[in-house]
Amino acid sequence: MARHYRLVFRGKYLPGFVPDDVHNSVATLLNAPVDKVQALLSGIPAVIKQDVEVEQGNRYLEALAEIGLMTHLELLTDETGEPIKPGSWDGLERRSDATRRHRADRRAGRRGAAIVPERRQTRGRRKTDVN
């Protein structure tokens, strides 16, 4: 089984290219509206193509480099087809709902060890929450 990759843009352009011209070229290449391409290439890491093999990924890299986009391939699966788990957060994964729940639970307690004294009137998020 072959390795699979994803094509990632990290918000950088090749030297000598104007971002507006690059956006127009990418819109023409992908047959997409310019405003959607500008949103995709806004500087936030974005996956342009998911689940490609090396040969196809290299063709995309060359085509996008000719336009002025600096992209790279990231490994998704190994030879056995097993997904590669990233060792650290690379900015492309989404936050899980559990993380958001834990963050909301932090507001329930008092800030005993804080340097700045407690200024909140209530421990909830809104003025209507009960202590």
- Express each pLDDT in 6-30 by its tens digit: 999 888 889 999 989 999 998 998 8
> In this model, does residue 39 exceed pLDDT 70?
yes
Of 45-49, 61-65, 110-114, 124-128, the one with minimum mean pLDDT is 110-114
- Count Cβ neighbours within 10 Å for each residue of 15-35 and write b for 16 or more, e otherwise: eeeeeeebbebbbeeeeeeee
Continuous segment of H or E residues that includes residue 77? strand 69-77
pLDDT for position 94: 52
68-117 pLDDT tens trace = 999 999 888 767 767 776 554 444 455 555 555 556 566 566 655 656 66
Query: pTM to 2 decimals?
Result: 0.58
Q: Are 45 and 8 in contact (CB under 8 A)?
A: yes
